[in-house]
């Protein structure tokens, strides 16, 4: 059920933050494998009263690596895994476009954040967006959200790019659970 004026929300990237990333894309529910401790982190956020939304680029759709039904199966597995741990994902929002499609929803564009606000009836500026890529952090910054970097996924490479992209003050954590426990719930 959508929240109104909810003051506790966190936006998460998917691949590299919640689940293992792959240069070959996550193309099936069987390939979707949670990063250790990430599901526990989402459950802790939910139990502390936070809405959790996922914002993810899924250009594998545009590239015909998988179809919308398969993506729905992947997201169902994610949601069910979180629910089994006592958590809840309030919404999974994805961009189906390729990098050259010129859409506004592909991060670092902010279209997914606008979709989250409209569907969940929340205001995102000032809240945390946790990601592992420069695109995630730029998207957060451009929407007046607080970017948070995790070193899982592509985070180690991304950390090297922070200063040159006006993101030098971004908090950095080993993984999603550390970010949740040491920053959001601290």
Residues that are catalytic: 13, 15
DSSP 8-48: -EEEE-SBTTTB---TT---SGGG--BPTTHHHHHHHHHHT
Question: How many other CB atoms sit within 10 Å of the CB of residue 22?
Answer: 13
- Residue 50's closest CA among 102, 17, 9? 9
Asked if 58 contacts 34 with a C-beta cutoff of 8 angstroms, the reply is no
* Residue 91 contacts residue 53 (beta carbons within 8 Å): yes
- Give SS3 for 146: strand
Whole-angstrom CA distances from 142 to 48, 67, 68 are 27, 30, 28
**81 contacts 33 by C-beta, under 8 angstroms:** no
């Amino acid at each position: 059920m959508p929240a109104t004026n909810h003051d506790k929300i966190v936006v998460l990237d998917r691949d590299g933050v919640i689940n293992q990333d792959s240069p070959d894309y996550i193309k099936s529910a069987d390939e979707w494998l949670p990063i250790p401790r990430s599901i526990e982190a989402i459950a802790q956020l939910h139990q502390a009263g936070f809405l959790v939304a996922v914002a993810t680029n899924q250009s594998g759709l545009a590239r015909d690596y998988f179809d919308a039904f398969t993506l729905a199966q992947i997201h169902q597995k994610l949601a069910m895994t979180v629910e089994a741990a006592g958590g809840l994902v309030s919404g999974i929002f994805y961009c189906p476009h390729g990098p050259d499609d010129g859409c506004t929803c592909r991060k670092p564009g902010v279209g997914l954040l606008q979709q989250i606000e409209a569907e969940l009836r929340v205001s995102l500026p000032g809240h945390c967006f946790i990601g592992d890529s420069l695109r995630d952090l730029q998207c957060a910054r451009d929407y007046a959200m607080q970017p948070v970097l995790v070193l899982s996924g592509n985070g180690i490479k991304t950390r090297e790019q922070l200063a040159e992209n006006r993101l030098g003050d971004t908090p950095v954590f080993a993984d999603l659970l550390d970010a949740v426990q040491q920053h959001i719930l601290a």
